[in-house]
Amino acid sequence: MIHNLSTKQSIANTFLSQLRDVNVQNNRLVFRKNMERIGHIFAYEISKFLEYEVKEVETPLGIAKMNLPSSKVVLCTILRAGIPLHNGLLDFFDQADNAFIAAYRKNHKDGSFEISLEYITCPELTDSTLIIIDPMLATGASMQKTLDSLQEYGNYKELHIVTIIASSFGVKHIRRMYPKAHLWMLAEDDELTAKSYIVPGLGDAGDLAYGIKLQE
């Protein structure tokens, strides 16, 4: 259930290379736009796994039978870094319901951290296809805590986890915790630093998209 789009040659590699490139990253507009374009690519690929049904569409000259998606899609984004990627998927899944979760690393003086969830807004998830969006999957701790917090909103039918860059550690963690989930990525990087940053990665996606935040 692992979908690594970098295993096949595509224009997506161009967008990813610009996200990683320190000489391009200082242009926030380009950074956000590339995340949106990658979201378009993910949405198209995910659409191949949805449920479909035949519907009749009236044209000026007759009736056309079309196979159209019938899945109830919910897009869930971990704020704030995931917003441009979310918008890219929403351009394609334009009738989807949406959920948003504010999660961040709460750093401790000893160098460790914990994941803190401050805010959740979410529709009913029962029988839905849930697509969770976070551009960087490092340890997988944020993703796990997010999924745990969503349990009270109903039982989704299918889970898709969308990230741009994942660490090998995070991939293994997600496969172990959610073996039936579809994990979508554009690259898998091997290394994590002592502070759980992905190497080579691309840096802090939220800061690059929206500006540097004050640290606690």
- Number of folded domains in the chain? 1
pTM, 2 dp:
0.91
Is residue 216 domain-resident? no
Is residue 202 domain-resident? yes
- Mean pLDDT value across the chain: 92
Is residue 21 domain-resident? yes
CATH number, domain at 153?
3.40.50.2020
Does pLDDT of 119 surpass 60?
A: yes
Is residue 59 domain-resident? yes
Is residue 215 domain-resident? no
Per-residue model confidence (pLDDT) at position 114: 65
Is residue 67 domain-resident? yes
Q: How confident is the model at residue 115 (pLDDT cuts 50, 70, 90)?
A: low
Mean per-residue pLDDT, 96-106: 84
Mean per-residue pLDDT, 202-207: 91
Instruction: Write the pLDDT tens digit of every residue in 154-191.
Output: 999 999 999 999 999 999 999 999 999 999 999 999 99
Is residue 162 domain-resident? yes
Q: Which domain holds residue 191?
A: 2-210
Specify burial of residue 150 (Cβ count, 10 A radius: 0-12, 13-18, 19+): buried
